[in-house]
Structure 1
Amino acid sequence: MNAPSPTATDASIDIVELTIADIQRGFAQGRFTAEALARLHLARIETFEPNYNAFTSMNPKALEEARAIDARRAAGEALGPLAGVPVVVKEAMDFAGLPSTAGWAPLAAAVGGIDLIPERDAPVVARLRAAGAVILGKTNIPAFSHDGARANTSWDGPTFNAVDRAIAPGASSSGTATAIAASFAVVGLAEETGGSIQNPAAAQSLVSVKPTFALVPNTGVAPLAGSTRDVVGPHGRTVTDAALLLDVLAGYTAEDPKTVAAIGMVPAGGYAVRLDASALKGARLGLYGAGWRRQELSEECQALYGRTIAEVKSLGATVVEDPFAGTGFADLAQFNGEFDDRGIECIAYDMEMYLRRLGPSAAASSFAALKALVPEDPFGPAGILGGHVATMPVLRASLADPTAVPDLGGFLAARVQYLEMFNAVMTTHRLDALAFPQSSSALPGVFDEASYPATTVSEINIAGLPAVTVPAGRFGNGAPYSLVLVGRLWSEAALLSLAFAYEQATHHRIIPRLVAGPS
């Protein structure tokens, strides 16, 4: 990648930790242009990307698109809320004209596979464009987004944590988290099936929103469980920026019929205008305990969590110890190893629908056509997704005919069980949210075998519940420690406001010191 050199004028702009509000003020005051911002971010990527590997491909038209924003601004045109803001999108999301690889080597011509080039953007990418964002590129993921801790299975190699290269970056939205934490862009799109928004955000001291299922469209995103669990959400360095990005992403589109459920659920005026620095005053928060999951917190995590509890109490919140105790909630989980994979039985059907949407010019636009082109079978006994096939009869049947809608009755029953019990606990204890440590212990290393020690995966993914992460400190090994706030369906506005109050009072965000030069 050869980034254009910034001009002397550009060099006077400090882009590290730059916020959307900073950018809007800068444009209003005539202090910089969209092109200058794009050049500076591309130059920073050029300097540090070799040591972090956040990107799989760059948008070759980024500067052209930034100049177009500048021309429209100069002409006095009305511009979108992200006009001129540098952003990134996760590799799994279709970007017209750039390869959609799902992180898997057989779908990457760069390493000898085939390229699938979508004819049109995923709705979330189209919404970014409509808002005026300058999309710099697509970010790295593990193959099929099938890892919650690291991107080491990607055809493009590992992504490294911007806070500390030795620590797992979190996954599967590893590249987006690294790009935002490293100030390669201002905000970015992440996506989650089982921790893939919250894990990398927490691992890199970011704010994230794992939205209610169907609040944000996921059509045009390479699926793991597109019909049941997959959600797209923001990564940002501040709560306000994450809320502003969610304002752009949320809501109904005919391209994703399930988002009809979001009609009437997006707050008037959006999420950002509802942020309240006093939101914790009078709030009732449920605390982590064995009633939620029989996974103990490490001694170090207990100490950090104790400080967090003291902080929220000092801000006026009331806490409720282990509100799920005695309810049987923890018994609902059916972990396949350390992951409850219910819902993934729809992947073959979802992949068929995804491939059809690529368009007739794509190298493969059906499951059958892809199998004919690619000799490797990800669903085979040794394949990256083979473990799910072995334990899921519905998935085995669906693989025989991916064009038929699979029987999701078992998954839907699990969702109902989770929601009924969750809602009962929230009502009984009059809770506004749950406030948990996002991880139960310090994070593993980037090349360790250990999984990510999350506390809310997969419970909230099966239930479709929203969550917001916010930086809350640091473990002794240097890994960020984060708070995750979980609420009822459609409660993103309330969760963001609680996170905003905590952020404004504590300022725990870790600003990375990047390493340049050879790794």
Structure 2
Amino acid sequence: MTDLNSLTLAQARDMLRKGETTSVELTQACLKAIEGADALNAFVHKTPEIALERARAADARIGQGDAPAMCGLPIGIKDLFCTKGVESQAASRILEGFRPEYESTVSQQLADAGAVMLGKLNMDEFAMGSSNETSVYGDVVNPWKVDDRRLTPGGSSGGSAAAVAADLCLAATGTDTGGSIRQPAAFTGITGIKPTYGRCSRWGIVAFASSLDQAGPMTKDVRDAAIMLQAMCGHDPKDSTSAELMVPDFEAMLTGDIRGKTIGIPQEYRMEGMPEEIEALWSKGAEMLRDAGAKIVDISLPHTKYALPAYYVIAPAEASSNLARYDGVRYGRRAALAQGDGITEMYEKTRAEGFGHEVQRRVMVGTYVLSAGFYDAYYNRARKVRTLIKRDFEEAFAAGVDAILTPATPSSAFGLGEMAEADPVQMYLNDVFTVTVNLAGLPGISVPAGLDAKGLPLGLQLIGRPWEEGDLLNTAYALESAAGFVAKPGKWW
């Protein structure tokens, strides 16, 4: 029999309903897998007692016959989500010892649906990074291995991606500010969807850039993404940007029938120096969708080339504002002070100790672009570019395009340490295909579609119309079926 921890959410749900296994057995299988996977450094706060308590409650609920789809299914929670009584550090030293007295809306909704929390997952500090090398807990290691290097799982949701790919949990939560769900999903051969901005509540999720952040599921396949996303979505009066919209049954919309749909291929995403493998996979993806009955058309998104610079002005600007609350006064770490030190010295020493280099870099960039002499030159100009990027997508959709197909990343997973020491801009270029989606507030999904010459997974990204996650998931389902990706990392840890 298959190991219980390697089941998909849908398989495990169906087995629970038929009485072929119990939530406690599923949870114990995952806890055992977690215990043997410290080499991956994916789980950073393990909560086995909470997990088994919730699993027993889920079994009782399933026995009564009124359990929702997620009931009894063991999942991991990214360390960015506040979880009541459990360390919630956003992978930063400055939040050392912080145990919130409240639960984030998304993790509460999953708990209410009966999902079992196995623990908190590693990530880049404050979600700032594309390789999971900025965490106070140390690097996460990609479970895929093709030589003697330790590979990045991507970032910032690298712990979530590694845990799902290595079957430590059945699924995990992630957050996406500029590609932090989709890029790690592509690097680890799993599925990750960033819903439309406002579809999932941001309340209780540690903020990075408030106009860009969005939570989403990271799962083993598209059906699981539909099941988990439904439990995570919904209007939340505690979040002023949360949309008051009905949440459809995403799983019921997975027919795989995309006949008559129009898929756009944006010419601006054909970047100079793009690896041939990425180019070939993209063409193959378009061919698969055409064979499934979709119409493939070339489209133009002319302001794409300005997306990265605009993103790396707007996101640090919002971060510098959001991170001002970490001052050592009310919670988290406080630096030891010398005789005669005042409040200013406390702020300075606490932040110097508490924030890592990448966070410090982005706070300084953000403070600079918001300062009096540079506000119009940088921040306001970036906001105008953002409006133009959004309009490019609106015009494509108005012309009848149902979804847009692009690569998810400019390469497969690279080695840990290979980029971090270089120019940080090289690292930022990893987000080249994903940041436009956040700037425009659109839903985007990464689907594993093939392996490169070295045997590492590559993903394709589909971008959908706002609020039409169901339609996007169905197109992704058709692409997944055609690609037939079933490769898994060989266990070495």
**Fold shared, TM-score > 0.5 on shorter chain:** yes
- Whether 2:124 is the aligned partner of 1:142: answer yes
Q: Deviations over 1:188-242 (max 9, x none)?
A: 100011110101111111111111111101121111102x100000101110100
- Whether 2:20 is the aligned partner of 1:31: answer yes
Change beyond 3 A, Cα 1:343–1:378: farther
TM-aligned CA deviation for residue 180 of structure 1: 0.8
Asked whether the 8 Å contact 1:439–1:453 carries over to 2, the reply is: yes
Asked whether the 8 Å contact 2:5–2:33 carries over to 1, the reply is: no
Alignment-derived partner of residue 45 in structure 2: 57
Change beyond 3 A, Cα 1:216–1:196: same
Change beyond 3 A, Cα 1:263–1:412: farther
TM-aligned CA deviation for residue 388 of structure 1: 4.8
Asked whether the 8 Å contact 2:230–2:250 carries over to 1, the reply is: yes
Letter in 2 for 1:252: H
Structure with bigger helix share is 2
- Whether 2:319 is the aligned partner of 1:347: answer yes
TM-aligned CA deviation for residue 376 of structure 1: 3.2
- Whether 2:311 is the aligned partner of 1:329: answer no
Alignment-derived partner of residue 311 in structure 1: 288
Alignment-derived partner of residue 337 in structure 2: none
Change beyond 3 A, Cα 1:201–1:409: same
CA distance in 1, matches of 2:456, 2:151: 7
Equivalent residues in 2 for 1:70-89 (5 A)? 70-74=59-63, 76=64, 78-89=66-77
- Whether 2:411 is the aligned partner of 1:441: answer yes
Change beyond 3 A, Cα 1:433–1:107: same
Alignment-derived partner of residue 340 in structure 2: none
Match of residue 171, structure 1, among 127, 150, 155: 155
CA distance in 1, matches of 2:407, 2:171: 23
Letter in 2 for 1:56: V
Letter in 2 for 1:263: E
Asked whether the 8 Å contact 2:194–2:444 carries over to 1, the reply is: yes
Equivalent residues in 2 for 1:267-282 (5 A)? 267=248, 270-279=249-258, 281-282=259-260
TM-aligned CA deviation for residue 468 of structure 1: 0.9
Match of residue 157, structure 1, among 100, 114, 138: 138
Change beyond 3 A, Cα 1:130–1:371: farther
Equivalent residues in 2 for 1:250-289 (5 A)? 250-259=233-242, 262-264=243-245, 266-267=247-248, 270-279=249-258, 281-289=259-267
Match of residue 127, structure 1, among 109, 113, 125: 109
Letter in 1 for 2:198: A
CA distance in 2, matches of 1:55, 1:236: 16
TM-aligned CA deviation for residue 446 of structure 1: 2.2
Change beyond 3 A, Cα 1:391–1:247: closer
Alignment-derived partner of residue 339 in structure 2: none
| Gap runs ≥5 in structure 1 | 1-11, 109-114, 398-406
Match of residue 472, structure 2, among 480, 485, 495: 495
- Whether 2:189 is the aligned partner of 1:205: answer yes
Equivalent residues in 2 for 1:271-420 (5 A)? 271-279=250-258, 281-290=259-268, 292=269, 294-321=271-298, 323-324=299-300, 328-333=302-307, 335=309, 340-351=312-323, 362-363=331-332, 372=347, 375-377=350-352, 384-390=359-365, 392-393=367-368, 395-396=370-371, 412-420=383-391
TM-aligned CA deviation for residue 380 of structure 1: 8.9
| Gap runs ≥5 in structure 2 | 335-342, 373-377, 420-425
Provide the identity percentage. 28
Asked whether the 8 Å contact 1:104–1:143 carries over to 2, the reply is: yes
- Whether 2:171 is the aligned partner of 1:187: answer yes
Letter in 1 for 2:226: A
CA distance in 1, matches of 2:51, 2:174: 20
SS of the residue corresponding to residue 476 of structure 2 reads helix
Asked whether the 8 Å contact 2:9–2:224 carries over to 1, the reply is: yes
CA distance in 2, matches of 1:185, 1:309: 32
Alignment-derived partner of residue 438 in structure 2: 461
Q: Deviations over 1:467-497 (max 9, x none)?
A: 0111100111232111100122212111100
SS of the residue corresponding to residue 512 of structure 1 reads coil
Change beyond 3 A, Cα 1:412–1:86: same
Q: Deviations over 1:447-478 (max 9, x none)?
A: 21153634423211111111011110011123
Using the size of structure 2 for normalisation, the TM-score is: 0.87
Alignment-derived partner of residue 223 in structure 1: 207
- Whether 2:20 is the aligned partner of 1:20: answer no
CA distance in 2, matches of 1:381, 1:132: 36
CA distance in 1, matches of 2:278, 2:345: 45
CA distance in 1, matches of 2:383, 2:293: 38
SS of the residue corresponding to residue 494 of structure 1 reads helix
CA distance in 2, matches of 1:100, 1:134: 17
TM-aligned CA deviation for residue 409 of structure 1: 6.0
Change beyond 3 A, Cα 1:364–1:410: farther
Change beyond 3 A, Cα 1:25–1:105: same
